[in-house]
Amino acid sequence: MAVMTETFLSSLGIHTRGTIYRNLPPAELVEHAIRRGEGELASNGALVVRTGKCTGRSPNAKFIVRDETTEDTVWWGGPNQAFTEEGFERIRKKILEYFRDRDLYVFDGFVIADPELKMPVRIVVEKAWHALFCHTQFRRPEPGELDGHNPEFIVLNAADLLLDPELDGTGGDVGIIISFSKRMVLIAGSAYAGETKKSVFTYLNYVLPDKGVLPMHCSANVGPDGDTALFFGLSGTGKTSLSADPKRKLIGDDEHGWGEKGIFNFEGGCYAKMIRVTPQTEPQIYYAIRFGSVLENVVLDEYRNPDYFDASITENTRGTYPIEHIENAVLSGIGGHPANVFFLAADAFGILPPIAKLTPEQMMYHFISGYTAKVAGTERGVTEPKATFSACFGLPFLPRHPGLYAKMLAEKVKQRKCNVWLVNTGWSGGPFGVGERMPIHLTRTLLNFALNGAAEKVSYEREPVFNLLVPQECPGVPKEILLPRDTWKDKEAYDKKAQELKVLFIKNFEQYKDLVSKEVLDAGPKLDG
């Protein structure tokens, strides 16, 4: 057991009367979590926990300290709310005082698989299961690597400390406040572990472009011939599920960098949505959940079997596991330059084709748009499909202007002559409630069609809504589903819904139209008439 003295954290101003545990192994962390009443074991060996009122991220509670360093480097507005230096310091001291009477768990490790860019991090938490989460998610140290560990980025997570909205200036009792100057994030009031993960990702999105590295909210895998593929997508689009392909090796499921030598994972584990996961549809994810994994907000039956179809706590049930739980994972976390890039959109309007090849201008347009759709029931108040646009498929984590990341992607795609595809993992034959969601096996067939080069040997035609190039055939996929309008019984209803979606795209892109070329702007949809 790695028990440290309280002076271990004194450089951070942390002084506690409790015990400090550093980098405990998973078995001990599980024991601590159960003894402390933080969770229980499921029949598959995973630790099952509840995150309380926060069952997802709290984007409105996320702030960035505005100071001399960030004044002209952060894209203020949108997801980037400014916070004062004084306010940051006040909450930091509040957390330090809160820690004084508590046992603390420390994870010292790394992010970024590329050894030339490897970055040490330190995460201090009050919950044993949060430390286990960090062990699964980040890159774990090798023996001897912790000697002289000097973290570049620090997370202080006081999950159960509720803030005072008026006194602390957070607008609520939850706060996630990042200081790029101090290279630190403060988290209070939320037990949702994804806040820690995405705070580190936000920091990487800020610092890596200056090093010539494009940070990306995408998964990545590599084929038998060494061909790397990237899968960009928002939550629920299939980013994790589709990259976990038994026929290809997984590099990572969520966060990567693209540098001069190729692709590399930022993390050491995966964070999958577990809702409706089965051994038939997503076997790699299903069997990765075992001892050493954490299940968030998953309901257990009377025999402690996880019920992945029960969304009574939240639709956003989650499972986290180290990447070595995936049998065919690339443990180095490193791959070559990609040959194919996929943009995944779960279109609940049923308008986008199941696969389309993008021109360079369309790639820029759809990357900056970052479209998907939320469906009824996933959030309070959502009673019909709701279009969601998240620039670069990761807007909440972009401290710099989306145009910077889009330009970097365009340059790298052009240099490496990548094929770029738009894939609809959403609905076909009608909108949500009328049509059916694209079966994952058909989407996998379409992806393999692109990955194995067969897509280069068929003819294409233009679909009329977004002017996208759609293959006229794909072995194993019914031809009638390739053009969405052909799948709708009511063609007039299709035309009306298509017009609705085009309007939403055009309105969203208004904020970017002065920052892109006329060719990119023209690559978007046009209103009829």
| pTM for the predicted model, two decimal places | 0.94
What's the CA gap between 354 and 375, in Å, rounded? 18
pLDDT at 6: 66
Residues 126 and 254 sit within 8 Å (Cβ to Cβ): no
Which strands, in side-by-side order, build the sheet including 184-188? 3-4, 20-22, 104-111, 119-125, 153-158, 184-188, 175-179, 62-65, 81-83
Q: At a CB cut-off of 8 Å and minimum separation 6, what does 385 contact?
A: 348, 349, 373, 374, 375, 376, 431, 432
What's the CA gap between 156 and 89, in Å, rounded? 13
What's the CA gap between 457 and 155, in Å, rounded? 50
Concerning whether 32 is annotated as a catalytic residue, the answer is: no
Active-site residue (options: 66, 239, 273, 357): 239
Active-site residue (options: 168, 253, 254, 347): 254
Quickly tell me which residue has 């999105």 as its tokens. 205
Active-site residue (options: 66, 248, 273, 318): 318
pLDDT at 377: 38
Reported as a single tens digit per residue, the pLDDT across 269-300 is 999 999 999 999 889 999 999 999 999 999 99
Concerning whether 318 is annotated as a catalytic residue, the answer is: yes
Quickly tell me which residue has 């790397």 as its tokens. 228
Reported as a single tens digit per residue, the pLDDT across 190-213 is 999 999 999 999 999 999 999 999
Reported as a single tens digit per residue, the pLDDT across 53-99 is 999 999 999 999 999 999 999 999 889 999 999 999 999 999 999 99
Mean pLDDT of the 319-337 span: 96
Mean pLDDT of the chain: 94
Tell me the percentage of the chain whose pLDDT exceeds 70.
97
Active-site residue (options: 32, 66, 127, 198): 198
pLDDT at 374: 75
What's the CA gap between 48 and 408, in Å, rounded? 40
Residue 69 structure tokens: 């360093």
Strand ranges in 381-500 using DSSP code E only, listed in sequence order: 386-389, 419-424, 427-428, 436-437, 460-462, 469-471
Mean pLDDT of the 94-116 span: 97
CA–CA–CA angle 384, 385, 390 (5° rounding):
140
Concerning whether 198 is annotated as a catalytic residue, the answer is: yes
Q: Amino acid letter at 234?
A: L
Residues 165 and 189 sit within 8 Å (Cβ to Cβ): no
Active-site residue (options: 51, 190, 228, 235): 235
DSSP-assigned beta bridge partners for residue 175: 188
Q: Band of the pLDDT at 373, cuts 50, 70, 90?
A: confident
Reported as a single tens digit per residue, the pLDDT across 14-68 is 999 999 999 999 999 999 999 999 999 999 999 999 999 999 999 999 999 999 9
What's the CA gap between 96 and 110, in Å, rounded? 24
What's the CA gap between 35 and 331, in Å, rounded? 32
pLDDT at 14: 93
Reported as a single tens digit per residue, the pLDDT across 450-461 is 999 999 999 999
Tell me the percentage of the chain whose pLDDT exceeds 90.
88
pLDDT at 380: 41
Q: At a CB cut-off of 8 Å and minimum separation 6, what does 52 contact?
A: 191
Active-site residue (options: 199, 240, 293, 317): 240
CA distances from 385 to 76, 225, 235, 436 (A): 29, 40, 15, 14
pLDDT > 50? residue 382: no
pLDDT > 90? residue 384: no
Q: Band of the pLDDT at 375, cuts 50, 70, 90?
A: low
Q: Band of the pLDDT at 379, cuts 50, 70, 90?
A: very low
Reported as a single tens digit per residue, the pLDDT across 149-171 is 999 999 999 999 999 999 999 99
Active-site residue (options: 22, 130, 217, 273): 217
Q: Kindly report which listed range (249-253, 381-385, 476-480) carries the lowest average pLDDT score.
A: 381-385
pLDDT at 484: 95
CA 148 to chain centre: 31
| More confidently predicted of 147 and 134 | 134
Active-site residue (options: 57, 66, 135, 401): 57
DSSP 3-state assignment of 420? strand
Concerning whether 182 is annotated as a catalytic residue, the answer is: no
